[in-house]
Structure 1
């Protein structure tokens, strides 16, 4: 919980909510996508993603345009300003990560990664049975 709060506080100082950071990261990695697909990728309720996108669009970090293939859908794209904000936020998060994990040895980090992978796989298995 403390690490998550550290993460959220760092993003807040950078001017982003955690879900906004996830949206910008996803758009940067995956490229433009429609709002529904973006909500699925970021694991945000499709009804809730609109508020996050509104905030990002107001600050010109994203643009939303009608999909020419289906005028009912909106395609979301990260802007240059959004990419710059993402880079700044990621640098700040890198500093937090370094500080949080600096007390762990290489062996400790390897153990933590193995355990985290097992937890992730178990959660993935639970989700696939639903």
Structure 2
């Protein structure tokens, strides 16, 4: 059941299951986000860490990893990339010299805004067939599902 215009088609009984629809939509959303951020020479982890620093202020590398759900070794690698672009600054924690405190720089704040604008355009492209009310409803429903399954 494949045509040149539509490509492969899953069986109808699968195409009507919420789990399949969520998975397929998530894969599409992930690709759009990767393309959008990639055009800025950035990745999702960059945005997550910069956004966390913007929301909560300076934090240790370990705290950022926990807050963003990123493995400690990945946090270090991503922070190295961000520091090389002067988007974050790492300095020893005055209370514990074994830890680094990470701070968002002014350039990091500007880059975060630029990335946010790109992600807004990605959301618009992803949700193009939905009205504003439908977008809000979808967001509320997905939040409710995620909160339920993550115990929030």
Q: Would the TM-score normalized by the shorter structure come out above 0.5? A: yes
What is the CA RMSD across the aligned residues, in angstroms?
1.5
Q: Is it true that 1:19 corresponds to 2:45 in the alignment?
A: yes
| Structure 1: 5+ residue stretches without partners | none
Secondary structure of residue in 1 paired with 2:86: coil
Runs of 4 or more above 3 Å deviation: none
Q: Is it true that 1:52 corresponds to 2:52 in the alignment?
A: no
Secondary structure of residue in 2 paired with 1:14: coil
Q: How many residues are paired up?
A: 126
| Structure 2: 5+ residue stretches without partners | 1-26
- Equivalent residue runs for 1:71-90 within 5 Å: 71-90=97-116
- The structure whose residues are more often helix, as a share, is 1
How many Å separate the matches in 1 of 2:70 and 2:105?
21
- Equivalent residue runs for 1:103-122 within 5 Å: 103-122=129-148
* C-alpha deviation, 1:9, in angstroms: 1.1
Q: Is it true that 1:2 corresponds to 2:28 in the alignment?
A: yes
Could you state the TM-score of these two structures normalised by the residue count of structure 1?
0.89
Larger Rg: 2
Larger RCO: 1 or 2 (CA < 8 Å, sep 6+): 1
* C-alpha deviation, 1:99, in angstroms: 2.2
Q: Is it true that 1:32 corresponds to 2:58 in the alignment?
A: yes
Alignment match of 1:61 (pick from 87, 110, 113) = 87
Moved more, 110-119 or 42-51: 110-119
Could you state the TM-score of these two structures normalised by the residue count of structure 2?
0.77
